[in-house]
Amino acid sequence: MITRRRAALVRYRVLPWWARVALIYGAARLVSTVIILAIAARQGPNPWTGAHPSYLDFATIWDGRWYFIVAMTGYPDQLPLTVDGHIGENAWAFMPVYPFLVRGLMVVTTLSWPAVSVAVSVIAGLGAALVFFKLMSRVLGDSQTAMFSVVLFSVAPVSALFQLSYAESLYTFLLVVGLYLVVLRRYGWLVPLIAVMALTRPSGLAFALFLGLHVIVRLVARRTDPFPWPERIAVSLIAVFSAAMGLLWPAIAGLVTGDLTAYTDTELAWRSAYIGYQHLVPFAPWFQGANWWMNSQSGFPTGGLVVVLLIAAFGLSLFIRPVRRLGVDLRLWVLSYGVYLLAVFFPQSSTFRLLMPMFPLLGAVAQPKSMVYRVSMVLVFVAAQTGWLLICWGVDGADWTPP
């Protein structure tokens, strides 16, 4: 048995890097499949399926149904209203690249939405894992640690999204390519990538902030890291372009529906069950959410204090040694995306999914070389993935824990 294991290990090590990444990713997807099937086997009737749904049916619930609606019928030109006159949940909250791509492939292949939407997610996730390895190899300078980063990336608590009908997998692929291009200083390719990425998941504003900070850092360090004028102008213009792309979808929603706040009002509809209908005030949602979750009705601002402590902990975490090893660019992205979430996102069970774009931090978690540590981290991640799927993906009556 030991001899066979050693032989298998030798065969694995002589494989090219891309084949090793594919094997790791494939094994992780098998683990996720087993977990999903086990949960589906005990799933009762729900708004999307009957009891004990098949894998593909179970993989297309929640937002997967909204993406299906977009793919089949597009977007409404009149916003739905609730009984008290507020804008209700509707398709404008879901950006078009993923559902329209799946729809196009459905036409070409004649396959069903569940089959094609899941396949797109799986393939995009594999592409993301491959580029993630190259990115980690570049910033860490250690292929073994980079490969373990891929292991963590593939079994992360929300990694099941790589095989569900959500746009996160495609967005993660586009984002990791974008980060890799910035690290390589291949700025020109960012323009088409940002144009697609910003219409896949809300990201244009966060990426614009990232590029703006990147320009500032390169200007400060120009004596040791030359930053010629053509590059300064190009990156600055691309940052402006990214900001414009970040505002494009809200503008399109406004033009089509005749309501300039159609997109933000639609997004706010999802948080109305928690705090009612309110206007979007930048940087207020986390404080509102903390007060709601902690039921802070007294004069002492417990929720606000917790948010301040979280912000401080997040900021300090960017300066610990393993995170510093990731390099300035990846830390700037994590900071920029964190600021974006703080500005617009209302914290609830979807927070775990919304943290997915901070995946570069997995390169910091992967750095300890102890085998006991690494095996333990994989087990912890798989357990957390199981918990996330049970709590957030499985449906239990009037479920308040959407993924």
What total of structural domains would you count in the chain? 1
Measuring CA to CA, which residue among 184, 182, 185 is closest to residue 197?
182
For residue 101, is it within any domain? Answer: yes
Torsion angle of alpha carbons 294, 166, 146, 380, nearest 10°? 50
For residue 403, is it within any domain? Answer: no
pLDDT higher than 80, residue 6: no
Average pLDDT of the chain is 95
283: exposed, middle or buried (Cβ count in 10 Å: 0-12, 13-18, 19+): exposed
State how far the Cα of 61 lies from the Cα of 114, in Å rounded to an integer: 10
- Give the pLDDT of residue 276: 85
Strand partners, 306: none
State how far the Cα of 72 lies from the Cα of 100, in Å rounded to an integer: 9
State how far the Cα of 105 lies from the Cα of 99, in Å rounded to an integer: 10
CA 251 from centroid of its chain's CA atoms: 23
pTM, whole model, 2 decimals? 0.96
pLDDT higher than 70, residue 328: yes
Question: 380: which 2 tokens?
Answer: 């912890």
176: exposed, middle or buried (Cβ count in 10 Å: 0-12, 13-18, 19+): buried
- Give the pLDDT of residue 3: 73
Return the exposure string of 253-269: e unless at least 16 CB atoms fall within 10 Å of the residue's CB, then b: bbebbebeebbbbbbbb
Note the pLDDT tens digit of each residue in 204-262. 999 999 999 999 999 999 999 999 999 999 999 999 999 999 999 999 999 999 999 99
Note the pLDDT tens digit of each residue in 105-158. 999 999 999 999 999 999 999 999 999 999 999 999 999 999 999 999 999 999
DSSP 107-164: HHH---HHHHHHHHHHHHHHHHHHHHHHHHHHHH--HHHHHHHHHHHHHSTTGGGGGS
DSSP H or E stretch at residue 371: helix 371-388
Q: What is the DSSP letter of 358?
A: G
- Give the pLDDT of residue 2: 65
Structural domain boundaries, residue 163: 1-393
Q: Helix or strand or coil: residue 44?
A: coil
**Percent of the chain beyond pLDDT 90?**
87
Residue with token string 């500005």: 343
For residue 196, is it within any domain? Answer: yes
State how far the Cα of 198 lies from the Cα of 207, in Å rounded to an integer: 9
For residue 400, is it within any domain? Answer: no
For residue 402, is it within any domain? Answer: no
Q: Measure Cα distances from 164 to 35, 42, 64, 283 in Å.
A: 13, 18, 8, 31
Instruction: Give me the phi and psi of 164, to 5 degrees please.
Output: -125, 165
For residue 39, is it within any domain? Answer: yes
CA 230 from centroid of its chain's CA atoms: 32
- Give the pLDDT of residue 292: 86
Measuring CA to CA, which residue among 84, 96, 54 is closest to residue 256?
96
Note the pLDDT tens digit of each residue in 152-210. 999 999 999 999 999 999 999 999 999 999 999 999 999 999 999 999 999 999 999 99
State how far the Cα of 383 lies from the Cα of 155, in Å rounded to an integer: 10
For residue 170, is it within any domain? Answer: yes
DSSP 223-275: TTS---HHHHHHHHHHHHHHHHHHHHHHHHHHHHHS-TTHHHHHHHHTTHHHH
For residue 248, is it within any domain? Answer: yes
